[in-house]
Amino acid sequence: MIVHLAEQRSLRAPESRLQRDKEQVAHSFSRAAASYDSVAALQRRIGHQLLAYAAGGWHGRVLDLGSGTGYFTRILAEQPQVNELIALDLAEGMLDFARTQRGHDKIHWLCADAEALPLADNSLDGVFTSLAIQWCDDSEPLLDGLQQSLKPGALLAFATLGPRTLWELRDAWSRVDDFVHVNGFESRHRLKAALAGRFELERFDTEEICLRYEDLRGLTDELKGIGAHNVNPGRNRGLSGRQRIKAFRDAYEGFRGDDGLLPATYEVYYGLARAL
């Protein structure tokens, strides 16, 4: 059963109604639930790297924040020292898919907003979150909620995206119009500042991953397949005309490398931190 925010016992009341952009995030990822795993090679690579960083650190009651299709939820639930696993996601469609495909006796499914975390204080022994917190509006309320829900000294293991992510896509669109076409992500400096005073940071690594595609459709289809749509204020809400699309494609072609492939860069942050 998927538990919704209002149904969960001993939870804090939601601090605010979901913004329209959050609703769009939930809708986009719900629609992508069935296709996500088939195009999520990068997401798997990053999540497994995060698991390796935090190897042996999971026990007791653990939260998988932004659990998606449940791929890492199931892995975490199978850790011998984990007694209970909470899979929290904003997208009900993702939770429906995960519950049917990757169910486990230890897992409880919770549909809720990470920025209004509905868990009791000092109730968690660890949090795993891979490529989810970049969809939050503000890291400070997110980290406030995580710190309150974690026991002192409990582990937060996170992977998220930095602002250089998909810079080629952003640059190509900037030559066409002034709309926001690519999601913006928080810098390492702002993220570290938000962690300070709430968590003791044990490790923070940055990795730049460059994927390569034969054509632009390969990239855009992949982004569509994982539900990564543009949800930023300032995006163009109308249809893109043929001339604009052609100008965009021509601009992106300028990045084609000597190997004949088009690059797409991802800036990834990995962190291990302990709740204060």
What CATH number is associated with residue 132? Answer: 3.40.50.150
* pTM, entire model: 0.87
The pLDDT of 19-28, averaged and rounded, is: 68
> In which domain, by residue range, is 191 found?
2-8+18-163+186-212+266-275
The predicted structure's pLDDT at residue 116: 92
Contacts for 247-250 with beta carbons within 8 Å, 24 or more apart? 247/175, 247/176, 248/172, 248/173, 248/175, 248/176, 249/216
Query: Could you tell me the pLDDT band of residue 19, with boundaries at 50, 70 and 90?
Result: very low
For the chain, the average pLDDT equals: 88
- 137 within some domain: yes
The predicted structure's pLDDT at residue 2: 60
Task: For residue 49, give every residue at least 6 positions away whose Cβ sits within 8 Å of its Cβ, in sequence order, or none.
Answer: 159, 207, 270
Distance CA 59, CA 155 (A): 10
Could you read off the pLDDT of 93-129 as tens digits, one per residue?
Answer: 989 999 999 999 999 999 999 999 999 999 999 999 9
The pLDDT of 52-65, averaged and rounded, is: 97
- 179 within some domain: no
Could you read off the pLDDT of 144-166 as tens digits, one per residue?
Answer: 999 999 999 999 999 999 999 99
- 169 within some domain: no
- 159 within some domain: yes
The predicted structure's pLDDT at residue 229: 55
Could you read off the pLDDT of 70-89 as tens digits, one per residue?
Answer: 999 999 999 999 999 999 99
Distance CA 162, CA 7 (A): 35
Provide φ and ψ at 238, rounded to 5°: -95, 180
The pLDDT of 228-236, averaged and rounded, is: 53
Region of residue 260 (phi > 0: left; psi between -120 and 50: alpha; otherwise: beta): left
Number of domains in the chain: 1
- 218 within some domain: no
